[in-house]
Amino acid sequence: MPGKSEAAADESGPVLAANREFYRAFRRRDTEAMERLWAEAAGLVCIHPGWEALTKRSEILESWRGILESPDSPPITCEEESVRFVGDAAIVLCTEMIGGRALVATNVFVREGGAWRLVLHQATPTAHTWAPRKAETPKTLH
């Protein structure tokens, strides 16, 4: 019988896959994939850097459409992912790299319809200094 840490490791894979799909949708500017990732039955929260908290699914999806359809949206990558489980929820902490800027992000997932779905995304600048991967300066943050 696997120990508690082994069971958590087994569960981490699907959660990390969902988190990576979130950033894949972001990079590809795929509004349909982004919409599929957000839960439908659970309460939601999305806090983009510098924005007020959005709590209605329609507002959240509209915000992502605006971000993903903007020609000024900078490229993004996700680094340093870690998963923590709290009851039936999974919390992913990660670093978002947008151009040469680092944001710390929290993505919370719950199971819905047999899949891990987002219920919370929050990203904020971090004080940690990062070396830029590209010489680009982003025009906007998400």
Taking the C-alpha atoms of residue 118 and residue 23, their distance in angstroms, rounded to an integer, is: 12
Q: Please say if the pLDDT value at position 131 is more than 80.
A: no
Residue 127 pLDDT grade (very low, low, confident, very high; cuts 50, 70, 90):
confident
Give the residues across from 136 on adjacent strands.
none
- What pLDDT is recorded for position 142? 58
Taking the C-alpha atoms of residue 29 and residue 2, their distance in angstroms, rounded to an integer, is: 39
Q: Please say if the pLDDT value at position 133 is more than 90.
A: no
Residue 130 pLDDT grade (very low, low, confident, very high; cuts 50, 70, 90):
low
**Tens-digit pLDDT profile for residues 46-102:** 999 999 999 999 999 999 999 999 998 888 999 999 999 999 999 999 999 987 889
DSSP 51-89: SPPB-SHHHHHHHHHHHHH-TTPPPEEEEEEEEEEETTE
Say which residue the tokens 């087994």 belong to.
10
Total number of residues shown for the chain: 142
Say which amino acid occupies 49. P
Which domains are present in the chain? 4-125 (3.10.450.50)
The alpha carbon of 134 is separated from its chain's Cα centroid by a whole number of angstroms, namely 21
Q: What is the pTM of this model?
A: 0.83
